[in-house]
Structure 1
Amino acid sequence: MGEVYNFPTSRPPNAAPETCATAKGEVDLLIGAQAFPRAVLLLARSFIAGYETYPRGAALFATQQRWLLCHAALACHFRVANADGPGLTRRTLAHVALQHGIASRNTAHAFFDEVLKYDVIRSAGGAADGHAAQAVPSPAALSMLIRWYAVHFEALDLVDNGCRAARFLAQPESMLACMQPRVADVLLSSPDVRAPRPFYAIFTWADAGGLLMDRLVAGISPEELAEPNRYQTDVNAISHLARSSGLSRAHTSRKLSAAESIGGMGWSGRRGHSPIWISRGFYEEYAGAQACKLLILNNAFEEATAAIMLASEPNLKPQARSLVSTTY
């Protein structure tokens, strides 16, 4: 597949956000890393496991619009922890959604009310109510978020034999407070994230459609990736795929038919009674989306590590501060 990937030196913590579009070469290099296919399978299988553990929370990360709203909401929350914002409220979430063109005000309000109802977030208390009432992530949601970051760092560690996951899990609350606003800013402004390619888009804009992609990719054996044009999965029936993602059979069938109509997938034998295959193009779109996200998270990790070190060493001389910023 290629050489072991060496991640570039991180930018200083106050550097301007970089989108995947400006780092296309880095994405290609990461995809070409020898261990990257294993990292992709790790991510896909972990997303499915996360859904089985916390289905309501994981499903929010399986649809493009809701995934972006989640990151926007979490950024609002962690910015107040950093004394840099008003916190998570219906008003602030709607403002960010409109600012970045994620959703209408009414959709953002409905999303806020839904996640509040199902205890993904909960009231922070205080005197304010209505649009100004602050909310915070529930313990279950924070646990899921920590696991989401950790599994991405495990994937990065697979690529370069790093130790990000262990370092992150040693102080997850501090790391999240530093990383999440930065990650959200880049995700919300990245053209590559906001405008997925055709195969990926078929699923990512559907209700929990990302889980369908995850399940298909998770069902590929590493040996299959040596095939030139298509990769057979272990999924044999639409009903099984629907159950594993919490979707109806009819909805799942529509998504598969749409992907099949443009050559993204098919059946190795009788339709609905034989293993599904996905095209190389479909897999490459999925892998490319994961690579883009991993690079964003890697940059955020390095910047957060440097920022936390600087905060813990206030007496560092300017030369030492500069060295820390370019080393971590």
Structure 2
Amino acid sequence: MAFSSEDIANHPHFVEALRGFAGSLRKQFDDSPRLSRMLASHQRWLLSQAAFALQLEYDPTQPGSGLTTTNLREIITSNNAASRNTVLNFLDQLLSYKFVRIVGDPTRRPRRYEATEISYHAMFQWVLTNLMLLDRLDGGDRLATLQGRPDLLRLVQPQIARRACLEPRWLEPPPRVALFLWTEAGGLVMDELVRRAMDLTDSGDAYEIGRIDARQMAEHFMISRTHLQRLFRRAVEAGCLSWPDDSRKACLLSRDFLREYCHWQAVKFSIVDQAYEKICGPVRLEKPEPRLGAVREA
């Protein structure tokens, strides 16, 4: 049976697994910074998932199906995730960076788009990374299954996208999470903070995440230093981050804020698990080690 969001959020190893997940996303950013940078806000995450699902669902027997401006706009604007102009600009940017291409006659309307190889690979890696986290929680075989049957991505990913675009808890992050996720490249910053959250302070109410070099982080994530400093200032005001002294040599990430973020992320991981189970069936778990009391003498 697929994990519920509550099961995931309350799992004793979820925070540790989420740190590993954030580290994997950081590596994916380093491998393809421009693509990752484009998708590093919640709005663009929703747009990219919906767009990829639409192009996978293209049916040549159904005129107008597939990834078109109209189809993407209908999904996104129906839940107020973005405006019509935002959808248009998003597709234009994907096209200009060659993350999608036009299929057939470019002068024919409506234009139909499809993902290029770099986008397909990135989505496949993203789904694998999510499945890997779920496997870490229960010893399942989701990752191995999709790696062995990569064609299943065509069925699993649209299930993820459709469910995510209909789940109010995922569509609307909690206010303090939204502070990061609704801003430009905020997802990259949040992943970096989670990746660093290793050790609790003596008081147990925060994680030490080391020194934050705003200039270096802004350059690495290709965002404005002013924008990043403004984001950190608002995060401090909201109680997400703090500095214990004026030297600013070490930053603290609020434990309550990380818990809030974990509960929100758990909604998405539950969606992924439900989508996987819908297509691939129940997860096969590792066989437990035999208990000594069950061993019989010959």
TM-score by length of 1: 0.80
Which residue matches 1:238? Answer: 214
27, 30, 48: which one aligns with 1:52: 30
Q: Secondary structure at the match of 1:80?
A: coil
266, 274, 278: which one aligns with 2:249: 274
- 1:19-34 mapped onto 2 (5 Å cutoff): 26-34=4-12
Is 1:77 aligned to 2:48, yes or no? no
| Cα RMSD after superposing both structures | 2.3
Change in 2 beyond 3 A, CA 1:57/1:225: farther
Change in 2 beyond 3 A, CA 1:139/1:175: same
Is 1:183 aligned to 2:160, yes or no? yes
Is 1:208 aligned to 2:185, yes or no? yes
Q: Deviations over 1:230-257 (max 9, x none)?
A: 1110343222332332212111000010
Q: Distance in 1 between matches of 2:284 and 2:125?
A: 26
What displacement does 1:227 show? Answer: 5.8
Q: Distance in 2 between matches of 1:256 and 1:326?
A: 40
Question: Contact (CA 8 Å) 2:197, 2:253: kept in 1 or not?
Answer: no
Q: Deviations over 1:145-176 (max 9, x none)?
A: 1110111111111111112111111122x222
Gapped regions of structure 1 (runs ≥ 5): 1-8, 11-22, 307-324
Residue 217 of structure 2 aligns with an amino acid whose one-letter code is: L
Question: Contact (CA 8 Å) 1:27, 1:291: kept in 2 or not?
Answer: yes
Which residue matches 2:229? Answer: 253
Q: Stretches of 4+ moved more than 6 A in 1?
A: 82-85, 325-328
Q: Secondary structure at the match of 2:249?
A: coil
Q: Distance in 2 between matches of 1:225 and 1:156?
A: 28
Which residue matches 2:77? Answer: 98
Q: Distance in 1 between matches of 2:221 and 2:260?
A: 20
Structure that is richer in helix per residue = 1
Question: Contact (CA 8 Å) 1:72, 1:96: kept in 2 or not?
Answer: yes
276, 279, 285: which one aligns with 2:260: 285
Which residue matches 2:292? Answer: none
Q: Secondary structure at the match of 1:132?
A: coil
299, 302, 327: which one aligns with 2:277: 302
Is 1:217 aligned to 2:194, yes or no? yes
What displacement does 1:269 show? Answer: 2.7
What displacement does 1:97 show? Answer: 2.1
121, 127, 133: which one aligns with 2:100: 121
Gapped regions of structure 2 (runs ≥ 5): 286-298
What displacement does 1:190 show? Answer: 1.0
Residue 169 of structure 1 aligns with an amino acid whose one-letter code is: Q
Change in 2 beyond 3 A, CA 1:47/1:326: closer
Is 1:39 aligned to 2:17, yes or no? yes
Residue 259 of structure 1 aligns with an amino acid whose one-letter code is: A
Q: Distance in 2 between matches of 1:227 and 1:29?
A: 27
Residue 270 of structure 2 aligns with an amino acid whose one-letter code is: L
Q: Deviations over 1:14-34 (max 9, x none)?
A: xxxxxxxxx9xx323222222
Q: Distance in 2 between matches of 1:119 and 1:190?
A: 30
Q: Distance in 2 between matches of 1:326 and 1:298?
A: 9
